[in-house]
Amino acid sequence: MKVVNFISKYFVCFVLYAIIGWCYEVFLEVFIYHWGFSNRGVLFGPYCPVYGFGALAFLLFLSHLKKKKIKVGKINITPFLVFLGVILIATTIELIASYLLEAFTGSWPWDYTRFGLDFEGRIALNPSLRFGIGGMIFLYILQPFFQFLLKKLGDSKTRTLALVLGLILGIDILYTFFLKNII
């Protein structure tokens, strides 16, 4: 049951961060770039799974580093190392996601050619730095808060929530990739 609880908690976090990522993308389009609203996710629902995968990768690879106190002289450089780790992980995931999306859908939903220091419009320094900042907010503020909420919710309700979210996401994946063109 311990493994099921662990998976449930992290799946709920995955969905939460996928939704937060979608909100971030829509906010940029509507309020920063003034392009108007469009569904920024590859699925029908309001979530960008790449943000969920990024959040899980940050937890998996950086949680232990975040807890350490690595110093140069008297200066704690751990947050800086975590920031660099977030940038590296987020940029790698975004690059991989662009190739996977191109393979499955024929394109990817972002184009960074307008930014300097980009690679094929798939990744660029500017968004990578923003993901670094967002990852720090995630690791140091949001995730501890979500962990607190999940603990308050309890294991049984968290498992139920994960099951419901899994069903919704599964139906969305089926619809988007298999049924959308049929219906």
pLDDT at 124: 96
pTM for the model stands at 0.84
CA dihedral 11, 15, 17, 19 (to 10 degrees): 180
Task: Decide if 43 contacts 49 (C-beta within 8 A).
Answer: yes
8-state DSSP, 181: T
pLDDT at 159: 96
pLDDT at 105: 81
pLDDT at 180: 66
pLDDT at 35: 79
Which is it for the CA torsion 168, 170, 176, 178, positive or negative?
A: negative
DSSP, residue by residue, 92-161: HHHHHHHHHHHHHHSS-S---TTSSSEETTTEEHHHHHHHHHHHHHIIIIIHHHHHHHHHHH-HHHHHHH
Number of domains in the chain: 1
pLDDT tens, position by position, 100-149:
989 988 888 788 999 889 999 999 999 999 999 999 999 999 999 999 99
Task: Decide if 86 contacts 62 (C-beta within 8 A).
Answer: yes
pLDDT tens, position by position, 24-47:
888 888 888 777 777 777 788 898
pLDDT at 73: 92
Regarding predicted confidence, which is higher, 132 or 178? 132
First to last CA, the chain: 39
pLDDT at 41: 74
**Site of tokens 């906010």:** 27
pLDDT at 84: 97
pLDDT tens, position by position, 51-98:
999 999 999 999 999 999 999 999 999 999 999 999 999 999 999 999
CA dist 135 and 142 (Å) reads: 10
Question: What is the residue range of 147's domain?
Answer: 2-179
